[in-house]
Structure 1
Amino acid sequence: MNKKLAMMGLGVAVGSMMLVTSVYAGVGDAPGYETFKSAFKQTAAVENVTRQVNVSLQDNGVSLLNVKSTIKSDQSGRAGSAEVKVKNGKEEQTIHFYSQDGKQIVKTADSDVYKVIEAQPGNGKFKALEGANHTPDPATIQEVENVVDALVGNLKNYVTMDQKSGKGKEIHFKLSGSQISPVVNTIGSLIIKHGTQENGQRPIPAKADTLGVDVSTLKNSLPQLANDIKMDAVEVNATIDGDNHITNQTAQIHISGKDVQGVNHDVVLSVDMTLSSLNSTTPDTVDLNGKKVENVKFDQQSRKH
């Protein structure tokens, strides 16, 4: 895989991990904690599900980026599909992903070519990806849970829970100002500053190196924060149905900072995820017969740096 694309993916993964850690940090040993954790595990155990995930990014009230995606997954059949629409105000691109018959397939809306990545015999990296669909070891889950519990501290009191009709529940969590851990703020500042500076110094990878995905749509939308970066507020809300599944979860993060010219920026990242068709989802598939197909060897991709 292209190294630059991998680094961007790493940055997104780290940022997501920080968000999840912050969410867990707000649901400590209070009544809402066990409720949220139980529903989280119950939802993760669902064999197949449809997820609608919308992400938006604003800077000083101006929309910079909107990502809308529909993800259908089937763990038991190791199948999945996704449609992702990315818009940065001026440009829009749509990307289709399929996982079927041991193949990973990518197609962008501006091309009629289907890029097919097949598992190569003995390719350990591809096997590792396949293994990601396996059910996690219970002991590992418990170890992670223990670590998360240990990180909670006194923030447990910031979560609230409301009962709904039909055994449903609403979970609410909000931190702002000094309530946000200095450690989380410092790490977040370093990641944002380092990520934007690195992206500014590196050339944008060609679409040929990113399976046809135009990375510039993402890169050019990110505010270039350089100094006085801090997380001002984090708010998370979750809806739990009567079957103990999280059917909707929203998160909003407010970040402020200055760019290299000293201009102040107030950045708002919003995420909205809705789950539906639990245990009744069938991922989309594509019939490649008669289609233009480009085969991509996974081991060759992994050697590109």
Structure 2
Amino acid sequence: MNKKWLTIGGAVGLSVAVMAATGMSAMAGASGYEAYKSALKSTHSIQSATVQSAAYIQDNGSDLASLKGQFQINFTNGNSSGNVEFSSGGTQRNLGVYRQDGQTILKPAEGDTYYVAEGGKHKHAPRPHTADPETAKQVESVIDTLVGNMKDYVNLEPNSDGSKQISLQLDHAQIPSIVNTIAPLAIKEASKHREDAGNSKPGTGLPLAELNVKNSLPELTTQIQIEQVVVKATIDSSNHIKHQEADLVISGADNTGAGHKLKIHLQADLSELNSTTPNKVDLSGKKVQKLKQVRHGESALTEQR
């Protein structure tokens, strides 16, 4: 499974006022931003974890789509297993997901067919145990530059058990100008390609064909801006991120002039660090439908056995 959830809320920093209020003078020299980066590196080095995730999208307060899932992930060899519940447009689907032996296997709760996609040349390679130090340093430097003065808006609150609470809340005026300039362009461009969303189209018989989440989103064309960013994280006493959540509020208007306020919520909870073993599915004797990648995530049935 894609592990980019680990990078949600990478912009975090120091709040001296909170540190003074807690009276934890031992932490007075460490910024929240540096504390978060340190925990992110420690978390990235784990070999396995169980992840409970949730996400939803709202438009003007109305639900557009939601997702809940639990995954068992081995970050070293790339294997994973889990269950996902999707909901969009009044339709709900449950899906079992497996990544094993270079294949991605999908099993809808309804029906007895297992859909199998070969990894091919674009499959995700297992994560190496160690990253190139120089490359990591350069990437970190770029991120530090982009984050800019957002570091100054972060709260860091140590707890008596050795854990830490990290929080960040930015309103539109506090978001760096470079982000406010680039983000609307990216959002507008993404809105143009709503037809390419999903891994299948209605009528194909493929898993989640009815759930074209991206096409249910409004196409923002003007007055696009980021209204608010809220990030919260819990770092345990072993310096691992155990909980993380983020809220992003985007406003804009569509080509009819109608206004929209989109709220995107993401969260993830990690447990059983370095002691999780993904489940494997035995396809022997099962009804299997092979999938072939066509374009932009769209899949086509190729053969059945």
Same fold (TM over 0.5): yes
Q: Distance in 1 between matches of 2:111 and 2:127?
A: 29
Deviations along 1:226-276, whole A, 9 cap, x unmatched? Answer: 211110110101001111111101101111111222122111111111111
Deviations along 1:14-72, whole A, 9 cap, x unmatched? Answer: xx89x84xx33343797111110110111111110011111111111111111112121
Q: Provide structure 1 residue ranges, at least 5 long, that are not aligned to the other structure.
A: 1-12
Q: How many pairs were matched up?
A: 282
Note the aligned Cα RMSD (angstroms): 3.2
Q: Give the secondary-structure state (helix, strand or coil) at the position aligned to 1:166.
A: coil
What residue number does 2:127 align with?
133
Q: Is the 8 A contact 1:95 1:106 kept in 2?
A: yes
Mean CA deviation greater in 34-43 or 290-299: 290-299
What residue number does 2:223 align with?
228
Q: Give the secondary-structure state (helix, strand or coil) at the position aligned to 2:212.
A: helix
Deviations along 1:270-305, whole A, 9 cap, x unmatched? Answer: 111111111111212212122101234679999989
Structure in which a larger fraction of residues adopt helix: 1
What residue number does 1:83 align with?
83
Q: Is the 8 A contact 1:256 1:267 kept in 2?
A: yes
What residue number does 1:5 align with?
none
Identity %: 35
1:31-70 superposed matches below 5 A: 31-70=31-70
Higher relative contact order (CA 8 A, sep 6+): 1
Query: CA 1:111–1:134 in 2, change beyond 3 Å: closer, same or farther?
Result: farther
What residue number does 2:17 align with?
none
Q: Provide structure 2 residue ranges, at least 5 long, that are not aligned to the other structure.
A: 15-28, 301-305
- Asked if residue 192 in structure 1 is aligned to residue 187 in structure 2, the reply is yes
- The list of structure 1 runs, each at least 4 consecutive aligned residues, that deviate by more than 3 angstroms after superposition, is 23-26, 123-126, 200-205, 207-211, 295-305
Deviations along 1:193-225, whole A, 9 cap, x unmatched? Answer: 222233269999526889533264313431222
1:204-283 superposed matches below 5 A: 205-206=200-201, 212-214=207-209, 216-283=211-278
Deviations along 1:132-187, whole A, 9 cap, x unmatched? Answer: 43333333222211221232322221111001121110001111021112321232
